[in-house]
Structure 1
Amino acid sequence: MQGPAQTPQTDTAYPRTERTVPTRSAERASYDKEFVHAILDEAYVCHLGFVRDGAPVVLPTLYARVGERLYVHGSTGSRPLRAAGQADPGLPVCLTVTHVDGLVLARSAFHHSINYRSVVVHGVAYDVTDPQEKREALDALVDHVVAGRSADSRPANKKELAATAVIRLDLHEVSAKLRTGGVNDEPEDLALPHWAGVVPVRPTYGAPLPDPDLAPGTALPGYLRTL
């Protein structure tokens, strides 16, 4: 069976394929690796889509990027992660990551929008069975959420490792898409008496709340003070 038509992958860009070229607003798409990596590295929750018993399923979960590979975390009891280990050759998936950067409020309801950055990854996920790769992947997942945390916590023991599943997904069939800028109202609507503009959206972190059972004298780590 012939795969989707694609352009060659380069050191700086992912190939364009039938699945990664948008059918709408294609000019907003990007295949630049540096741009894709920046979007992936700024978030830590993805949505993993797959087909189960003939029906689509989408699950939110943690992930981390290591080079040109994504690692996705889950329980060994999770159906998609079990399927990734049982299927040959793996589990076909679609993984998405999205940042909302602004609410675009137009004079007309039709032209309301959001400013965003998103990445869509198509591919086949595989269960990570090599013990060393699995430990490194789990460290990467912890450090992706809070940099430096894996070295400041107890590593998983054998029982915990046995209860934890990790799947890997290579970055090959990938695209980013974004919208920036302001309102795109119709010229005849510009005089309408409705406020229009952009409301920026930015993620923030609150002050860390210590656990009530924290050992006496345990100081707040530097990586949390600078988070």
Structure 2
Amino acid sequence: MRQRDRLNILTKVRKELDSMADKQKEMEAFIEEQKPSTSLDVALCFAYCKVHFEATQSAFSKLLGISDRTVRKYIKNVIRNCWYKSPVGEKCINKGIAESKITEEILKEIKNYRDELAQILEQGQGKDNNKEYLQQEVADLQKELKSIEVKQDRLDDLLEDGIYTKEKYMSRMEKLTNKQKDVETELDLLNKQLKKQDTVQDKDKIALLDAVLDNFDGLVSEKDRNRVFKSVLSYVELKRPTKEDEGEINVNFL
């Protein structure tokens, strides 16, 4: 190996070592600033250090003065920050949250859903005549949505043809958009009610929800808990834009 090649390699190694030292200092400063105290704080702090400072779990644990095993346990019990980026580069704003909080909220929603279905059964709202009424309401709202879309297209044409000014176009479009949102919200609520009508015709659904609520605490493994949730849930949405926000959890049932 030539002397010049050796020097190049040594220079490269020195730069990498300097970079590692800088990242170590930055990580130490970050941890000192954050002062993670709870299990959630520790898990989220490690996730940040891993991404931004290429921290290992071992190095992170040493800086905090706790064992690798403890950090691993904290990480396991936390749903981390979302690092997803859209095709246009927009980052998901969701922050991490304790898994126990998610579980607690899901069970609460299952209980509420179960009680709603039971009430519908008691009031006889699952009958065909009520279902037909809801279906007609849904159809009417869908027609209204199509009508709004047609009007929005017309506004585009009026702007392009110079008949409407930008100000008038924006004013009319804003009204139509707000109306569209209201109709979509109402349509979503009606579809959920309609789904419940279909559900309550099968009393086994309530029995299944009761079984989940009665036996969930006895489940130990994460695999079993997820399997039970999947038997009644379609999906769960979490919105938590900041650490200060407690988080909004939207539970959708099968």
Shorter-chain TM-score: what band? under 0.3
TM-score, scaled relative to structure 1: 0.23
Which has more strand, going by share of residues? 1
Higher-RCO chain (CA-CA 8 Å, sequence separation at least 6): 1
TM-score, scaled relative to structure 2: 0.22
Larger radius of gyration: 2
